[in-house]
Structure 1
């Protein structure tokens, strides 16, 4: 049975780590839905957050293989992650800005930049709510949309 999974991996920040991690997924025919990587402040480590869909057996094997990679320090796969994602959306200034601002507030968003042609809005929320936000904001004819990918921390 296919299930959405979030995997958090702490690694030593060195070249080739991301390639080896993504290779484990590619070698087993699994798609990575979202992949974010960022350095952990004041360390030589990075946090890799992977969101994928797959069956429990194959994902269990991927997690075991991740543990064996030399630069990997820890691997967490849990149903108890706090997950957030951000979307940036560029909208023509001619659109109804008041309605856009109301919609943004409903999804923890706001106008973050404006010029004579466009406004740029940002929303940060749970991934499924960002999907809903992008569906709702589509009526304002966005010229460009960018999603950040999921970042996650275990709650406990």
Structure 2
């Protein structure tokens, strides 16, 4: 399927967002694989990107990531099997479970933060610090506005 010239020359927000996300994920997970985390995949980011070091409930992870709770449950199962998280009782509510990163999970999260910071610093150098800061400010506003549409 060929895209129109307009989409090639003036890509819309959806195309720009997806190109950015997929390229960012490819680089991030390739680099993290080289740093000792080769079995993780971009889909695991729906949990690990939003996980608090003290632990998070699956419902919180679903809400933050925009994924269904069942999807989060499947990803948590995979991450438990891979040794990145464990389920613990929530001390605030003994009926609830917290998803808590293991030492391996914390290592991944710290390395991920460092790699993303390096990637962002590279973008800032390429386009200029002020331009990149303004881009992030505006992109955050657009993302928040778009996310608010979901709540309708």
Higher strand share: 1
**TM-score normalised over the length of structure 2:** 0.26
Higher helix share: 2
Bigger relative contact order, structure 1 or 2 (CA pairs below 8 A, ≥6 apart): 1
